[in-house]
Structure 1
Amino acid sequence: MQERFVLHNVKHVNGEYLDIVIEGGKIAELADPGQGQGKQIVDYSGAYVSSGWIDMHVHAFPAFDPYGDEIDEIGIKQGVTTIVDAGSCGADRIAELAASRQNALTNLFAFLNISHIGLQRIDELSDMTWINHEKVVEAVRNYADFIVGLKARISKSVVRDSGIEPLRAARALSNATALPLMVHIGSGPPSIEDVISLLEKKDIITHYLNGKANNLFDNDGKPLDVLMKAIERGVHLDVGHGTASFSFKVAEAAKKHHIGLDTISTDIYRGNRLNGPVFSMSNVLTKFLYLGYSLEEVIATVTTHAANWLNRPELGRIQVGDTANLTLFTVQNEKIQLVDSEGDIRTADQTIQSKGVVVNGALIKC
């Protein structure tokens, strides 16, 4: 059994201080500051604590280039306790991704790419024969505890001459498996109106703040009618920052018109982790703090909002009896330069910095 230890004098995002006692991998007690008792006292005075950060869009299959990375490099080392691979693998290699959980500390789930080849190629939906209904259904059945949805990348460079047909196939597969879709949007054709009109409640639009011509806002920054109708239907909005899919100007337009926030995710992989513009989850969260969202709003996107979408509310709370998945972080009053996917550079006065995690009861300092 894991030894009893205490996270001493940590604080919620609302500023309330407490001690968190962890024993046997679970939260054993939430005590007044200085009152927690345990064999080991870990002093995190001045640090915030939240339920463990969840990144809803990563690429954690290192065998694929360029969109791949090691699980723990984009998980616990970023202050993230749970990551969701966003369609790196199709049916051909989903077993390998599922097996890789055994060698990682970070919790891992996945969206299954509807193309059985996955990101072995980056035009994986350009040939409709690569979408095999039987293979998708079988993979979902075999990995029901791991696969949380289906992924379809619907932009010109991926679908090529297939147009909107891969998304129609994805919709049919969603109906067959009772799993929601995560749909990547980008350059057209197909048009954004054709794409979004096929999405239903709990489906995810990822990259919704991209600055490409085929985006969800008009030239004046007003949200398109198709976006507003999707929100009314219960379609979920996910940032999916990535190398080419986050614009400060579009994000400012979204905030002005009270769009979002549902989930903030990174679309992180080796290249944009090392060379930017993503770098880390902390860096992406800092951008939304800079945009004027409160710390509570920002942290909710990677805790309660993400956990609720996953139908795993225990991942988004700090409650006695739950497995301990926590993120420790600070907000420093120091200037930092932030860059979006368009090369637009902004200077922020505060920066979020991850300091450690408790993942399934184990404390790991960043």
Structure 2
Amino acid sequence: MQKRFVLHNVKHVNGEFLDIVIEDGKIAELTSPGQGQGEQIVDFSGAYVSSGWIDMHVHAFPAFDPYGDEIDEIGIKQGVTTIVDAGSCGADRIAELAASREQAKTNLFAFLNISRIGLQRVDELSDMTWINNEKAVEAARTYENFIVGLKARISKSVVRDSGIAPLRAARALSSATSLPLMVHIGSGPPSIEDVISLLEEKDIITHYLNGKANNLFDEEGKPLQVLTEALARGVHLDVGHGTASFSFKVAEAAKKHHISLDTISTDIYRGNRLNGPVYSLSNVLTKFLYLGYSLQEVIDAVTSHAASWLNKPELGRIQVGDTANLTMFTVQNEKLVLTDSEGDQRTADQTIQPKGVVVNGALIKC
């Protein structure tokens, strides 16, 4: 790690240019361009800077197939300084995921799958005996600085004949651990109404823009009452693009009806990173820029909004004295064909491209 270096002539999303001086891993100074002094001057003229991007929904346990990948492949190499594994592991293997942080440069947190087997199988909630309350509570206690919530994948292919019972079990575990739920929605049964009605303040609906029949919008694109009621209760919406969970048409309907943009995430793993339609967090962010959200709204969704949900405000700001976690990126005026999870394609005129990160004070160029 460089002792003292300067990110020269970067700019905030609001267009304000500055130098950022980083010393001993922390932000030491924010000053006018050309005023920053250090052992190394790194010229990022023309690039934006934000607090480090946070991807709230990834799969970073490479031992599992198909839903697994290497931490840094979906982290720092993509301009992302913090990733949150969304339930790859249950109590059986969460210790391995926690230990993997020691070899990675990317910051890693996790949701604990309520099924002790996690994504060892893709129907991990089809057998209720795989939900072991005692082990889950013990894991939440042991890894309290790593586990940020509980994950329950509540769709037909996962729960099979268990119906809504796994979500009721998740609700009970949430009470026992004081951890919020991230709930994956998809094809029914259970019905979307039965699922969403059980969610409480700070719980997360991930895949909220999926185009499946059991989604959160009616045939005319209007949000269902169960969604508006959940938002009023303080339920959080997370994109979780994934291979099968993002529809341009549904996203356009959500924007038209002023559904809040909380966090943008990828649901990335090896397959959809290499073969699409996800590819990277920047590709997903470009889709929201294409949809007409401002650059500020898009970047807030992977910085301040995510940091706020994690109760780690320092990850969502650029402030003297904080550990330096930053993302440098550009917005290029070039065309890019974007593909959603249903094969629907759109052509963007602008693309967001990461150029580098500072992660825990270390500069890494993309």
Task: Find the residue that maps to 2:314 and give its secondary structure.
Answer: helix
TM-aligned CA deviation for residue 219 of structure 1: 0.3
User: Map of 1:171-182 to 2, 5 A cutoff?
Assistant: 171-182=171-182
Partners of 1:336 and 1:84 in 2: CA distance: 27
2:61 counterpart letter in structure 1? F
1:346 aligns with 346
TM-score scaled to structure 1, two decimals?
1.00
TM-aligned CA deviation for residue 3 of structure 1: 1.3
Alpha-carbon displacement from aligned partner over 1:11-32 (angstroms, at most 9, x marks no partner):
0000000000000000000010
1:43 aligns with 43
2:357 aligns with 357
| 2:42 is the alignment partner of 1:34 | no
1:100 aligns with 100
User: Map of 1:180-259 to 2, 5 A cutoff?
Assistant: 180-259=180-259
| 2:330 is the alignment partner of 1:306 | no
Task: Find the residue that maps to 2:37 and give its secondary structure.
Answer: coil
Task: Find the residue that maps to 2:137 and give its secondary structure.
Answer: helix
| 2:88 is the alignment partner of 1:88 | yes
2:328 aligns with 328
Partners of 2:97 and 2:48 in 1: CA distance: 32
**4+ aligned runs moved over 3 Å, structure 1:** none
2:169 counterpart letter in structure 1? A
2:139 aligns with 139
Task: Find the residue that maps to 2:284 and give its secondary structure.
Answer: helix
Partners of 2:61 and 2:100 in 1: CA distance: 9
Alpha-carbon displacement from aligned partner over 1:50-81 (angstroms, at most 9, x marks no partner):
00000000000000000000000000001000
TM-score scaled to structure 2, two decimals?
1.00
Partners of 2:143 and 2:282 in 1: CA distance: 31
1:272 aligns with 272
2:141 counterpart letter in structure 1? R
1:16 aligns with 16
1:292 aligns with 292
User: Map of 1:43-62 to 2, 5 A cutoff?
Assistant: 43-62=43-62
Partners of 1:167 and 1:135 in 2: CA distance: 17
Task: Find the residue that maps to 1:297 and give its secondary structure.
Answer: helix
TM-aligned CA deviation for residue 2 of structure 1: 3.9
Task: Find the residue that maps to 2:228 and give its secondary structure.
Answer: helix
Task: Find the residue that maps to 2:54 and give its secondary structure.
Answer: strand
Partners of 2:199 and 2:221 in 1: CA distance: 22
1:121 counterpart letter in structure 2? R
Partners of 1:132 and 1:223 in 2: CA distance: 35
2:347 counterpart letter in structure 1? T
Partners of 1:175 and 1:138 in 2: CA distance: 14
Partners of 1:186 and 1:295 in 2: CA distance: 29
Matched residue count: 366
Partners of 1:38 and 1:62 in 2: CA distance: 39
Partners of 2:135 and 2:229 in 1: CA distance: 33
Task: Find the residue that maps to 2:194 and give its secondary structure.
Answer: helix
Partners of 1:238 and 1:307 in 2: CA distance: 13
1:112 aligns with 112
Partners of 2:217 and 2:111 in 1: CA distance: 27
Alpha-carbon displacement from aligned partner over 1:200-256 (angstroms, at most 9, x marks no partner):
000000000000000000000000000000000000000000000000000000000
RMSD: 0.5
1:12 counterpart letter in structure 2? H
Task: Find the residue that maps to 1:254 and give its secondary structure.
Answer: helix
TM-aligned CA deviation for residue 260 of structure 1: 1.8
Gaps of 5+ in 2: none
Partners of 1:121 and 1:289 in 2: CA distance: 35
Alpha-carbon displacement from aligned partner over 1:92-137 (angstroms, at most 9, x marks no partner):
0000000000000000000000000000000000000000000000
Alpha-carbon displacement from aligned partner over 1:288-335 (angstroms, at most 9, x marks no partner):
000000000000000000000000000000000000000000000000
Partners of 1:171 and 1:2 in 2: CA distance: 46
1:314 counterpart letter in structure 2? E
2:4 counterpart letter in structure 1? R
Partners of 2:199 and 2:90 in 1: CA distance: 21
Task: Find the residue that maps to 1:184 and give its secondary structure.
Answer: strand
